[in-house]
Amino acid sequence: MDKETKDWNPNIAGQEVRLKANPGQRGMTTGKNRQSGSQLLVQVQFSPNEKSYKPYNLLELCGEPEGIPDLLKQGRFSGSNDLRKIITFEKLRGHLTNIFYSMESSNTDFYPHQFKPVLKFIESPVGRLLIADEVGLGKTIEAMYVWKELQARADARRLLIICPSILCAKWQKELLNGFNISAEITNAQGLLQKIRGLLETRSQNSFTCIVSLEGLRPSANWEDENVKGARAELARLLDKNTATDELGIFDLTIIDEAHYLRNPATANHRIGRLMRDASRHLLLLTATPIQIHNSNLYQLLRLISPEDFFNESIFQEMLEANAPIVRALRLTWRNPPDFAGTQREVDKALQSEYFFKNPTLHQIKKDLAAPEKIDNEARVRLGYKLENLSLIGQYITRNRKRDVISNRVERAPQTLVVHFSPLERQIYDYVTCQIRKQTQGQKGISLFRIITRQRQMASCMVAALQAWSQKGILNEFIQEDELFWEDFGVSAQLSTDSEEKPDWDIPALLFPEGKLNYAQLEKEDTKYKKLVEFIRQELKKNPTEKFVLFAYFRGTLHYLQRRLEVDKISTCMILGNMDDKQAVLNEFETGTASVLLSSEVGSEGIDLQFCRFLINYDLPWNPMRVEQRIGRLDRLGQKAERISIVNFSLVDTVEERILERLYERINVFTESIGDLENILGEMTEQLLIELFEPNLSVTDRIRRAEETAMAIIKQRAEQDRLETEAINLLAFSDRILGEITKSRDQGRWLHPEELHSFVEDYFARYHPGTTIESVPNKPQVFNIRLAEDAKVELQMFLSKHQCSTPTRLHASSTSVTCFFNPKVAGTMGKRNELLDPTHPLIQWIRYRYETAAPKFHEVSACQLESRDIQHHNIDIATGLYVYVIHRWSFTGLRTENQIASKVARCADGRMLSDERSESLVSLTARKGKPKPNAVNLLGDMERILAAYNDCDEYLEDAFNRAAEDFEVENKNRCDVQQRSAEDYANRRQSELKERIERFRFESKLQMIPATEGLLNKVNRELDIKLRAIAQRRDISLDQVQLAAGVIFVE
Q: How far apart are CA 169 and CA 155, in angstroms?
A: 26
Please give the share of the chain, as a percent, with pLDDT higher than 90: 25
- Its sign, for the CA torsion 241, 242, 248, 251, is positive
Are 811 and 869 within one domain? no
Question: Which whole number is the average pLDDT over 670-681?
Answer: 47
229 in a domain, yes or no? yes
- Among the ranges given (12-21, 205-214, 494-503, 1027-1036), the one the predictor scored with the smallest mean pLDDT: 494-503
Q: List the single range of 161-170, 589-598, 649-658 with lowest mean pLDDT.
A: 649-658
The answer to whether the beta carbons of residues 268 and 654 sit under 8 Å apart is no
How far is 656 from 663, CA to CA, in rounded Å?
10
Res 768: pLDDT: 84
d(CA 698, CA 691): 9
**CATH number of the structural domain spanning residue 258:** 3.40.50.10810
Least confident span in 183-192, 247-256, 476-485, 900-909? 476-485
129: confidence class by pLDDT, cuts 50, 70, 90: very high
Same-domain pairing of 563 and 513: yes
Q: Which of 289, 308, 327 is the last residue of a domain?
A: 308
Q: Which of 661, 673, 640 shows the shortest CA–CA distance to 703?
A: 661
* Distance from the Cα of residue 717 to its chain's centroid: 30
1044/983 same-domain check: yes
Any domain includes 997 = yes
Tell me the per-residue pLDDT of 563-578, one tens digit each, with 9 for 90 and over: 999 999 999 998 876 7
894 plus 816 within the same structural domain: no
Residue 881: name the closest of 921, 853, 832 by CA.
921
Residues 476 and 583 in one domain: yes
Model pLDDT, residue 670: 52
Closest CA to 332 of 389, 414, 284: 389
Mean residue pLDDT across the chain: 81
Sign of the dihedral through C-alpha 979, 984, 985, 989: positive
Mean pLDDT to the nearest integer, 1029-1039? 87
The total domain count for the chain is 5
* pLDDT tens digits along 680-728: 444 555 555 565 565 667 677 677 667 666 666 666 665 565 555 555 5
Asked whether residue 675 is domain-assigned, the answer is yes
Which of 829, 822, 756, 839 is CA-nearest to residue 104? 822
Closest alpha carbon to 85 in 745, 780, 750, 757: 757
Taking CA atoms, 212 is separated from 190, 191, 259, 319, 577, in Å, by 12, 11, 15, 34, 15
Phi, psi of 574 (to 5 degrees): -125, 135
Q: In CATH, what number is assigned to the domain containing residue 660?
A: 3.40.50.300
Identify whether 336 is preceded by a cis peptide bond (ω within 30 of 0).
Answer: yes
> Distance between CA atoms of 652 and 701, rounded to whole angstroms?
13
Burial class (CB in 10 A: 0-12, 13-18, 19+), 97: middle
| Domain containing residue 50: CATH number | 2.30.30
> How far apart are alpha carbons 579 and 577 in whole angstroms?
6
Residues 585 and 443 in one domain: yes
Closest CA to 674 of 612, 710, 731, 718: 718
So what's the pLDDT on residue 163?
Answer: 92
In eight-state DSSP terms, residue 660 is I
Q: Give residue 686's identity as a one-letter amino acid code.
A: Q
Let me know whether 933 and 980 are in one domain.
Answer: yes
Shared domain check, 901 and 808: no
Least confident window among 439-443, 458-462, 880-884? 439-443
Question: Dihedral sign, CA of 380, 385, 386, 390?
Answer: positive
Give the three-class secondary structure for 512.
Answer: coil
Assess if residue 244 is contained within a domain.
yes
| pLDDT for position 342 | 94
Give per-residue pLDDT as tens, 411-430.
Answer: 788 888 889 998 888 888 88
pLDDT, residue 499, reads 44
Q: How confident is the model at residue 622 (pLDDT cuts 50, 70, 90)?
A: low
| Secondary structure element (H or E) that encloses residue 860, with its range | strand 859-864
From edge to edge, which strands make up the β-sheet containing 1036-1049?
895-905, 879-891, 1036-1049, 859-864, 929-930
Binning the chain into helix, strand and coil, the percentages to the nearest 5 are: 50, 15, 35
* Category of 180 on φ-ψ map: left (φ > 0), alpha (ψ -120 to 50) or beta: left
Q: Is residue 403 in some structural domain? A: no
Is residue 841 assigned to a domain? no
Domain that holds residue 24: 3-64
CA dihedral 662, 668, 669, 674 (to 10 degrees): 180
Residue 922 in domain? yes
Is the domain of 604 the same as that of 565? yes
**Using an 8 Å Cβ cutoff, are 349 and 325 in contact?**
yes
Residue scoring higher pLDDT (445 or 807): 807
Do 922 and 996 belong to one domain?
A: yes
Domain boundary among 259, 287, 308: 308
Give the number of other Cβ atoms within 10 Å of residue 312's Cβ: 13
pLDDT of residue 903: 96
pLDDT score of 319 more than 70: yes
DSSP structural state of residue 655 = I
AA letter at 44: V
pLDDT in tens, 894-942: 788 889 999 999 989 999 998 899 999 999 998 899 988 888 888 888 8
Q: Is residue 582 part of a domain?
A: yes
What distance in Å separates the CA atoms of residue 447 and residue 449, rounded to the nearest whole number?
A: 5
Nearest to 484 by CA among 673, 216, 291, 260: 260
pLDDT of residue 870: 80
Residues 762 and 700 in one domain: no
Claim to verify: residue 190 and residue 301 sit in the same structural domain: yes
> What letter does residue 1005 receive in the DSSP assignment?
G
Higher pLDDT, 919 or 511: 919
How far apart, in Å, are the Cα atoms of 538 and each of 534, 609, 610?
Answer: 6, 19, 16
